[in-house]
Structure formats: structure tokens, C-alpha cells
Structure 1
Amino acid sequence: MQMLHKLGRMPIALTAPALIMFLAVVGLPTCLLFLSSLNSPHFSVVNYQAFFSQYANIRVLYQTVEISVVVTAICLLVGYPTAYLIAAASKHLRVALIVLVIIPYLTSMLVRTYAWLVILGDGGLINSVLLNIGLISSPLSLVYNRMAVYIGMVHIMLPMMILPLVSVMAGIDRSLVSAAQSMGAPPLRAFWRVFFPLSLSGVRSGSLLVFVICLGFYITPAALGGLGDAMLSTFIASQVRTSFDIASVATSAFVLLAVAFIVLSMLGLNLSGTPGRTVQSRQKVLGKFYPSIARLSGILNEVSTPNRAKHWASQLYRPGRSSAWLKVASFAFITLVMFFLLFPEILILVMSFGGSKFLEFPPSTLSLQWYRNFFSDPTWYGAALNSIEIGIIVAALSTILGTLAAYGLSRTIPQVRSFLTLLLLTPITIPVIVIGVAAYLGLVKLGLIGSKTGIILAHSVGAVGYVVVIVSATLANFDPRLEQAAKSMRASPYRTFMRVTLPLIRPGLIAGGVFAFLHSFDEVVITSLVSGFSVRTLPLKMWEDIRHQIDPTIAAVGSLLILLPILCLIVLYAVWQRSGARSQHLLLKPTI
């Protein structure tokens, strides 16, 4: 009991378990990797010189950045109008559209990659349809090229662009745009001068998230791309599996990490800046660094002022109007985006019930043979049991450690909180291949390579980050005066936490645990590095089969993995509804 009182006075100590695990598994090994890349103890840049002296390395690095930039740009061009239409929809329609975006976001990356192999392959859906209607005489080369990589990566990353944009756009007051239009501004100008600057924080967050994750992509480019589409993460993974020259691996990993940090430093700073200053700061920067452009802009502004004044007077106080064709175009656009996100999953679901020896859409006969094959094959259901066991333990461990860390961080000073939060979120904010290499080195030092314990620790490092984010968001809406009231009634810190704090943040804990489980259940990059070929999880089994054959059993497994996030969403919704009803009566219960 005295320990609880001490922890109450020093809440930062609650972050210690999560920090210790992070430092042991990833933090200290990352420092050792950096020293190895600098040729410690002699300290030189000879390894970096060797890396950049080889044209093949520069080519792979350029391809990695190029693919990441293109995918980010496409996701932004498609995701921004999608998020705008979702945020502008009615409440019930907005919730339904967000759920439709979240479902593919939570679906296994391997399943979605496999779906595009089925769609784009030589015997896939598109080629089969074109051959049957006579438009082509031989299959088109739609897979194992750069375009297939772009399609697969955009499909996987688009929800990660849409969701941050929707969260920002939903908080923008639409009356500001209406006010601008009522004062004579055309709809496009009102959007560009009012709405767009207020949404830039979502643009920045979504773009950073997509770009950094794309840098570490490994599965999708390897499955859908050709030899000329390899990314640096594929190069690093092959080095680890073959020679594992620690200096070479560390150098490649930190070159990739340097690219991520350069972009983060360029776009990720001053995140707390007020949106209202965006336009003014942009004009100041333009005038400072591009004076000739600024002067030309001023001249054009003076010339166009009379015409704008006349247009402003004619449009003054007129309400904004939306034409019928714009509504039709918006409906068609959002329908196409949802079709792009959901059709691969629907395709896998339908094809999993086929009775043929080969995948076909629509199935000529219906059968459950591929499901029976999954449940009767020890290699399949054994891998699934391993994934479930590891996922449950990871969810429990990361929920406990992440909740303690989030609770402690919420009660520390802002400077310390920002630093420790950044540290705990590192595993989910830098390329995953770098985390995998660091975890491999750390688990080698601990003697846990090729064990379930090692995989659990490697997964938990990233899962804790998700729990910290979700529980911290829940605690941000928690009123600390409730705890103070309980303590004023002589409730102990433990009893206060159990009777007041825990019931109110329980939805966040459950949501964090669910996301931690899904993170572990779908993880394949880190697992492939630390499993040591002795522990087979379901994603590893699927990845091996995808690389060597198109086994229809994967369709049955994929359909089960598609249903898994839907079930999790239903559970979360039920918990949230129940928690809302219980929290209304919480204060009526005695706390001592």
C-alpha cells in the first residue's frame, strides 16, 4: 500500500516497465547498430562510403523513396476528397463510411496483397474477363511490375490517409466556409482560403504516416513487384537471412532511418501550430524566399481587384448552392473509392467457397473444401493456434504496460511527457524493417531468437505504442476531479483507480487490447526475422505459400481474417455502448 502511495506521488515511475522492455528489445540494440554502422570503436564513415559507392545500393534507395513518394501522393489525391465527402455526410452515413474504411484498414496486409495477386495475375480476374469477352488473345502482364506495386500499396495505405484527414475535417466549423461564401467568395476560393488551411494538420499527419510506413514496406513489393521494383527493406531482410554482416545491415537500416527522420524534421515539426496562421505564414515565407514571385503576385492582385470587387458585390450574401451534377459526381467518386477498398476482400470471401481446384470468380460450384483443408492440415491450424496464443499474450502484456505508461504520462510535466511518449511510439513511427533488425539483435543478446517469448517481446514493443495512444486519448477526456473527490472521501489510490478511473477508461483499455492483438496477429516482417524458422505463425505460413504457390486454402484463411476485424469492431461497439450506460451511474456508487 505504501508503494501505491509513492507511485501516486511519482507517476512517471509507471512508465518504467514499458521503457525497460523497449530499451532491452529495441532501444539499446538500435544504439549498438548505430555504433556498428560507424565502425565502432574506430569510428569512421567507411561503411556509409561503401554503401553509396555501389550503384545498386543507390538505385534501390532511389526506388524506395520514389515508390514511397508516388504512393503518398496518390493516397493524398484520392484520400483528401474522400475524407472531405465523409466529413460532410450526415452523421449516420459518416459513421457507416468510416466503418467501411476501417474494415480494410484492420484486415491483414497479407490477405489484401494476396487478393491483388488473384485479381492481377495471368489467370486472375481481370485477364479471365478480358479473355472471355474476346478483347485480348493472351494474358496481359498486370502483375510483377511497378504498377502492381502502386495498386497494392495504395490499397493498403489509403485508409491510413483517410482516417487522420476525417478526424481533422470533422472538427472544422463549416459555418466558416458558409460565411466566406455569403460574403461573396466563390465556393472554390472559400474552400482554398478557409477550409484547406484548417485541414493542413490532417494532410501533414496522413502524409507523414503513409510515407514513413511505405519506406519500410516489404511484403507487398516483394509479392507484386518484379526484380526491378525491390525496396531497401527487401535488401535488408535478405542480408539478415543470408550473411548478416552486422555493419552492412546497420548501415542500410540507418540510411533508411535517416530518410524517414529527414522527412519528419521537414514536415513533422511545429505540430501544435495554430491553423489560423497557416495562410499568413505561407505568404511570409513566399515573400522572404521568392521576392520576384511575391512582387508578381502583388501586381496581379492589384490588376484583378476591380473585377473581384464587382463579383463580390454581385454574390454578396448569397447562400452556397450545390448543383445536382456535383452531388452525382460526389456519389460516384465515394462509391468507386469504397469499391476499390472493399472489392478485394469481397472477392476473397466469395472465392473461398469455390469447389474447383483453382480459384475462380464467380465460383462454378460451391463447397467448403478449402475450409476443411485448413482445419484438417496441422501446418495450417497449428500456425493459427500459435498466432492466437502469441496474440493473446501480447494483448494482455501490452495492455498492462501501455495502460500504466499512459496513466503515468498523463500526470507528468509536458516536457517529460512529450519525450517519453515519442520514445514509446518510436516502434510504430519508423520503418518496421529497422525495428525488426534491432529486435533481432536485441533478442540474440537475450538468447530468445526462435522462441515464442522472443516473438512476444518483439510484438509487444510495437503493440504498447498502440495502447499508449488509445488509452492516452481516453484519459484526455477523463476528469481528474473524480479521483480527487474519491480521495477526499478517504479512498486509497488503489481503490480509487479500481472503482473510479478503471471503469471510465475501460473502453480505451479494451480497444487498445484489440488493436494490440490485431497488430500481433498480422505481423510478418519482424516475425520472419526473429522466429528463426522454428516458430510458425499464420502470417508466416501464408507468406510462404503466397511466394511458392497460389493455394486456394489461403482464400479460406483470408476470409477468416477478414471476418476477424469485423467481429472486433462489433465487440468494441458493444463495449462502448455498455460503458456509456454504466458511466452515467458511476458516481452514485460508494468509493469507500
Structure 2
Amino acid sequence: MRAIQKRDLVPAGLVAPALAVLLVIFGIPMVQLFLISVNAPTFSFGNYRAFFGQPANIRVLLQTIEISAVTTLICVTIGYPSSYLIVGLPKRLRMVLTVLVFVPYLASVLARTYAWVAILGDRGIINNLLLNMALISNPLPLIYNRTAVYVGMVHIMLPVMILPLVSVMLGIDKSLMMAARSMGARPFSACWRVFLPLSLPGLRAGSLLVFISCLGFYITPAALGGLRDTMLSTFIASAVSSSFDLARIASSAFVLLAVAAAILFMFGVDLSDNRGFATRSSQKSGQSRPYLVPAVGRSLSEIAAPYRARRWAVQLYQAGEGGPLWATAGTVFVGLVLLYLLFPGIVVIVMSFSPGTYLQFPPSGLSLQWYHSFFGNPSWTRAAWTSIQIGVAVAILSTVVGTLAAFGLSRASPRVRSVLTMVILMPIVLPIIVVGIAAYLGLLNLGLVGTKIGIVLAHSLGAVGMVVVIVSASLGNFDRRLEQAAMSMRAGPFRTFTKVTLPLIRPGMIAGSVFAFLFSFDEVIITSLVSGFSIRTLPLKMWENMRNEIDPTIAAVASLLTLLPVLWLALLGASWWCANKLARRTSPDPAA
């Protein structure tokens, strides 16, 4: 009995630091916000009645849901066929394309948003090209409208849709499709009835991530949209910076949180249970339609069965019609998607070398004047150094706390692991503006608003979750028998961890620290809420300059932020190669 209790206490102790940070900076403030929103201790819904009593608030809420839903639908429409085509490619080409999709995901949101400002602006690339070709006489209104918002948001969220789909599709047994074809199913029918149900977990996970992330979008709609494209997150952020009516802010935040919770409740079931989901879906759809429809469908299918059999026998050993045409169309489609994802970053990098007093694409020459302007301006370099300091601190704190939590979760029982993982990942799942409001209130309770320590703690809310996910994946492939062998040789728990476990999960820890640093270095929404007026990080200064003036130095900053993930990916690839080389060197020779 004591052994069982000790086994349960050890994982809880390892997860405790992560839960403590989450509780103090996020959990308790969320409870406080809810109590404020319901006017505790009198407990009334006056704040919510006031929110829904104003038509402008309802319009902004519905507008937020509409923009998030349309962005999700566009991402599904583009992301699903892209993922299907990428998965069908040879392994090396598939890995290259996955990395090319992954690089824009790691790039700064501000840099990508600024790129679309430079592309869609009145004097942007598209309008300048059309004016120079004399196709138009006045610039087209390509920016500050709903279409520009969709273009920018889909560009940012499309990798979030593609990557889960590729991960799930790679695990689908291709022989199932071949079996369906051997039974006479056409390619589309086999894909619709076999492949699609098996890929629903990835589709559902990507859709949930995209929709809930879009609910908290603030930067892109404010930079690319007009006054009619205001989202609820912008409404909440402006209330924080102007009136700071905490009751109004709390009620607005929980209305947005209620929308996210409702979507998660309806669709956020066990993503790994694809077979159960498919079964439940088919049962529900069968119960919801009249019995006459499936009966007629079965009768028509039986009548057409002999014809399908003869057609299948004739085409079995023939090359599929339109094979090269479909292959070419798929190649063009994937190429256009990659161009859409990569072109804005390329534009920013090329424009940053413009020699004139304004940005040009393509530039008339090459000059480093905007990089000299960046490195020679103390306000820019001070902001960059502040971001580096905060990012390194977040990476260290999140890596230590997240690794301990992941190690403890790997030793916990499945039910406890599921609950604790859901709690730790909550700041990543919820809309970022709600997390920022809670973090502000939590730091206000500690007196850390406007301090670097406060920003580090606020950024660590999401960074710890990223480290837990990545290190947990490394621990999932870890052979526990190696630890048992070390302990059988009288190695203590600490020595076993440092000599056996740590070297094998080090690549996951390095990857987690890199993601934590990038998350902190690019964060602007939470930073704008908790930094006060005394601390300016690089993304925050960049955002302020984008709103107040058009400084070409921003192009140099955006190009550096775009190239930063490429550098980190190169470092991760080098560490992964060294780890594999070490593993091959230390592994026993099978022929020995």
C-alpha cells in the first residue's frame, strides 16, 4: 500500500512546480475574474445583461465568431487536400515539404502581418505592379477590409491545420484504401468512405485549434482590417488600455471563453478515438434521417452492382484515366499553397535591402541602410536585448519546469495523466486574450505588472505547455527497461535520470526550449497587457511603430524575425543528427 502511495506521490511532486505557476498566474485570477463578472458576493448577471444589452457588443461577438468560422473553413478547404497530397509523396520530398510548411508557422506573426501590409497596401506590391502595367489608374482597395483579414489570418493559421492532418494521415494504413479499390470502389468513393473517416481526428484537432486561436486574434485584424472588422479581443484590449472597467472586461472575456468552451464541448472529444468517432457519427447520421432514404439507396446500389462489377473488371489492369493530369494538378496545387505560405517572408527579406527612402519590390539596388538603422538605434537594440533576456529566462524556466512535469506525467496513471495534461495545456487551448487578462490580474496580485519577472511568468504559461508536449513525445519513445537496468546496478534515481534518461531525452528538451524561446520572443498580446509602460520588447515596439508610423526599419526587423526560426531549425537538426550518431555509436552491434 505504501509503495502504491509513493508511486502516486512522486509524479505529483514532479508536476507540482508547473501546477503552482499555472495556479498563481492563471488559475486563481480566472476564478477572481469570474467572481467579478457575476458581481460577487451579491451574485447577479448584471454585467452580462449590460454586455448583451448593447447591440454593438452583440455585433462584435457575432463578427468574431463569423471571422473565426470562415477562416477555419478556408483552412480546411485548403489544408485537407494539401495534407493528402503531401502524405502521398516519397518520404524525403514529404519531409522537405513538411519543413517548408513548418517554417512559416515558427515565423513571427507580426512579421507575417507586416508582409501582407507591404503586399496589399495602396503602394504595395500588387498595386504598384498593376499601376506600372497601366492596368489600373488608382490603387485598388486591397487592405483594411474583411478580405485582407481573411488572407492574413488564413496565412497564419494554415500550418496549424496542415501539420495535425499530416501527422494523422501518416498513421493511416494505406492497404485499407487498396482493399476498398479491390472491392470495386472508385478512388473518390474509397477516399470518402475509408480515408476521410480515419483522418477525422486530425481534421477535428486542426479545426479546433484554428477556430479557438482565431477567437483571440488581435494583431492581424487590427493591422489588415477596418473599423467594421473589429473582433472581441480588440474590444477587450482597448477596454484594458482605456477605462480599465474590470467588471466589463471580465464579462467580455468570459463571453468569449463561453464560445470557446461550447465549441470544445461539442467537438473536443477524444482525438485519438477515431474509430469510435466514426462509428458514433455514422450512428447519429443514420438516426437523424428517414428510414426510406437508406432503403432506396441500398436498392439502387444492388441494381447497379453488376454494372460496377463489369466496369471494375475492365479497368482493373488499365492505367487510370487522367492520372498524369491529376498528378500535375496536385503538384500545382501544393506549389501554390507553399508559395502562399513562403512568399510574404521572401518579400520582407528582399524589401529590407531597398536602397531608397522607401521600400521597393524588387529593390532597385542592394543596401544595408535599414539594418544599420536598426542596429544603430538605441530604442530598437534596447527592445531586442530585452526580448532576448526575457526569452532566455522563459526558455530556462519552462524547460526545467516542463521537463519535470513531463517526466512526472509519464509515470502517472492514465486517468491522472489525462487530467493533469489538460490542465497544463489550458493556456494554449484557450483564446490568448483571455489568458492575457488572467495573467494581468495574477501579476497585479503579486505586484509584478510592468516587470521583467512578471513578463517571464506570463509567457511561461504557454511555454511550459509546449515543453510538456515535446518532452512527453520524447519520453513516449523511451525504453523504461534502460532505467530498470541502471537501478538494478545500484544506481540511484537521480543518477539514473542524469546518466540514462537525460541524455536520451535531451533532443526533446532542446526542442522544447527552442519553442519556448520563440514563443516568448514573438509574444505581443500578453506582453501588451502585463508590461505596463516601462518595458518594451521587440515585438511590442514593432507593433507600436506599425500602428503609429511607417518606418522602413520594420522591414529589417521583420526579416530578422523571419530568419530566426530557420536558424533554430538548423540547430535542432544538428542536435538531432548528433543524438542519432551517438545512439548508433553506443548501441550494441547485432552481429556481435
Do the aligned residues in 2 keep the contact of 1:29 with 1:441 (CA within 8 Å)?
A: yes
Do the aligned residues in 2 keep the contact of 1:11 with 1:412 (CA within 8 Å)?
A: yes
The within-5 A match list for 1:190-229 is 190-229=190-229
Give the whole-Å Cα distance in 1 for the aligned partners of 2:220 and 2:272.
Answer: 34
Instruction: Report the alpha carbon displacement of residue 174 of structure 1 after superposing the two structures with TM.
Output: 1.4
Give the whole-Å Cα distance in 1 for the aligned partners of 2:310 and 2:481.
Answer: 53
- May I ask how many residue pairs the two structures share in their alignment? 581
Matched, 1:304 2:301: yes
Q: 1:460-512, CA deviations, whole angstroms, 9 ceiling, x for partnerless residues? A: 11100000000011111111111111101100111100010001100100000
Partner of 1:437: 437
Do the aligned residues in 1 keep the contact of 2:67 with 2:150 (CA within 8 Å)?
A: yes
Instruction: Report the alpha carbon displacement of residue 273 of structure 1 after superposing the two structures with TM.
Output: 2.1
Matched, 1:284 2:283: yes
Q: 1:403-424, CA deviations, whole angstroms, 9 ceiling, x for partnerless residues? A: 0000001101111111111111
Give the whole-Å Cα distance in 2 for the aligned partners of 1:587 and 1:410.
Answer: 24
Q: Which amino acid aligns with 2:292?
A: R
Q: Which amino acid aligns with 1:547?
A: R
Q: Which amino acid aligns with 2:507?
A: P
1:271 aligns to what SS in structure 2?
coil
Give the whole-Å Cα distance in 1 for the aligned partners of 2:329 and 2:538.
Answer: 42
Instruction: Report the alpha carbon displacement of residue 8 of structure 1 after superposing the two structures with TM.
Output: 9.2
Do the aligned residues in 2 keep the contact of 1:260 with 1:430 (CA within 8 Å)?
A: yes
Q: CA RMSD in A?
A: 1.5
Give the whole-Å Cα distance in 2 for the aligned partners of 1:201 and 1:274.
Answer: 6
Give the whole-Å Cα distance in 2 for the aligned partners of 1:132 and 1:395.
Answer: 48
Do the aligned residues in 1 keep the contact of 2:201 with 2:274 (CA within 8 Å)?
A: no
Do the aligned residues in 1 keep the contact of 2:87 with 2:169 (CA within 8 Å)?
A: yes
Q: 1:80-106, CA deviations, whole angstroms, 9 ceiling, x for partnerless residues? A: 000011111101100110110011000
Give the whole-Å Cα distance in 1 for the aligned partners of 2:87 and 2:342.
Answer: 20
Q: TM-score by structure 1 length?
A: 0.96
The within-5 A match list for 1:164-179 is 164-179=164-179
- For residues 278 and 465 of structure 1, do their structure 2 counterparts lie closer, same or farther at Cα, with a shift above 3 Å needed? closer
Partner of 1:366: 366
Do the aligned residues in 2 keep the contact of 1:459 with 1:520 (CA within 8 Å)?
A: yes
Instruction: Report the alpha carbon displacement of residue 7 of structure 1 after superposing the two structures with TM.
Output: 8.4
- For residues 48 and 9 of structure 1, do their structure 2 counterparts lie closer, same or farther at Cα, with a shift above 3 Å needed? closer
Partner of 1:259: 259
Instruction: Report the alpha carbon displacement of residue 585 of structure 1 after superposing the two structures with TM.
Output: 4.4
1:550 aligns to what SS in structure 2?
coil
Do the aligned residues in 2 keep the contact of 1:503 with 1:583 (CA within 8 Å)?
A: no
Partner of 2:316: 318
Instruction: Report the alpha carbon displacement of residue 548 of structure 1 after superposing the two structures with TM.
Output: 1.4
Comparing 14-23 with 518-527, which one deviates more in the overlay?
Answer: 14-23
Q: 1:421-451, CA deviations, whole angstroms, 9 ceiling, x for partnerless residues? A: 1111011000000000000001011000111
Q: Which amino acid aligns with 1:399?
A: T
2:329 aligns to what SS in structure 1?
helix
Instruction: Report the alpha carbon displacement of residue 582 of structure 1 after superposing the two structures with TM.
Output: 1.5
Do the aligned residues in 2 keep the contact of 1:184 with 1:313 (CA within 8 Å)?
A: no
Partner of 1:492: 492
Give the whole-Å Cα distance in 1 for the aligned partners of 2:281 and 2:108.
Answer: 40
Partner of 2:353: 353
Give the whole-Å Cα distance in 1 for the aligned partners of 2:270 and 2:520.
Answer: 32
Q: Which amino acid aligns with 1:287?
A: G
Partner of 2:47: 47
Partner of 1:454: 454
The within-5 A match list for 1:404-443 is 404-443=404-443
The within-5 A match list for 1:84-233 is 84-233=84-233
Partner of 2:571: 571
- For residues 281 and 310 of structure 1, do their structure 2 counterparts lie closer, same or farther at Cα, with a shift above 3 Å needed? farther
Partner of 1:504: 504
Instruction: Report the alpha carbon displacement of residue 271 of structure 1 after superposing the two structures with TM.
Output: 2.7
Instruction: Report the alpha carbon displacement of residue 64 of structure 1 after superposing the two structures with TM.
Output: 0.3
Give the whole-Å Cα distance in 2 for the aligned partners of 1:281 and 1:450.
Answer: 50
Give the whole-Å Cα distance in 1 for the aligned partners of 2:414 and 2:8.
Answer: 17
Give the whole-Å Cα distance in 1 for the aligned partners of 2:544 and 2:208.
Answer: 31
Q: 1:526-575, CA deviations, whole angstroms, 9 ceiling, x for partnerless residues? A: 00000001101000010011111221111111111111100111111111
Instruction: Report the alpha carbon displacement of residue 9 of structure 1 after superposing the two structures with TM.
Output: 6.1
Q: Which amino acid aligns with 2:384?
A: A
- For residues 100 and 347 of structure 1, do their structure 2 counterparts lie closer, same or farther at Cα, with a shift above 3 Å needed? same
Instruction: Report the alpha carbon displacement of residue 288 of structure 1 after superposing the two structures with TM.
Output: 1.8
Uncovered stretches (5+) of structure 1, i.e. residues with no partner: none
- For residues 472 and 300 of structure 1, do their structure 2 counterparts lie closer, same or farther at Cα, with a shift above 3 Å needed? same
- For residues 7 and 502 of structure 1, do their structure 2 counterparts lie closer, same or farther at Cα, with a shift above 3 Å needed? farther
- For residues 329 and 584 of structure 1, do their structure 2 counterparts lie closer, same or farther at Cα, with a shift above 3 Å needed? same
Give the whole-Å Cα distance in 2 for the aligned partners of 1:75 and 1:509.
Answer: 31
2:411 aligns to what SS in structure 1?
coil
Give the whole-Å Cα distance in 1 for the aligned partners of 2:9 and 2:442.
Answer: 33
1:410 aligns to what SS in structure 2?
helix
Partner of 1:525: 525
Q: Which amino acid aligns with 2:280?
A: S
Give the whole-Å Cα distance in 1 for the aligned partners of 2:93 and 2:243.
Answer: 53
Do the aligned residues in 2 keep the contact of 1:12 with 1:411 (CA within 8 Å)?
A: no
Give the whole-Å Cα distance in 2 for the aligned partners of 1:183 and 1:278.
Answer: 24
Give the whole-Å Cα distance in 1 for the aligned partners of 2:88 and 2:218.
Answer: 36
Instruction: Report the alpha carbon displacement of residue 180 of structure 1 after superposing the two structures with TM.
Output: 1.1
Q: 1:294-319, CA deviations, whole angstroms, 9 ceiling, x for partnerless residues? A: 42232133123221332134314826
- For residues 445 and 150 of structure 1, do their structure 2 counterparts lie closer, same or farther at Cα, with a shift above 3 Å needed? same
Instruction: Report the alpha carbon displacement of residue 272 of structure 1 after superposing the two structures with TM.
Output: 3.6
Instruction: Report the alpha carbon displacement of residue 379 of structure 1 after superposing the two structures with TM.
Output: 0.6
Do the aligned residues in 1 keep the contact of 2:383 with 2:537 (CA within 8 Å)?
A: yes
- For residues 495 and 7 of structure 1, do their structure 2 counterparts lie closer, same or farther at Cα, with a shift above 3 Å needed? farther
Partner of 1:14: 14
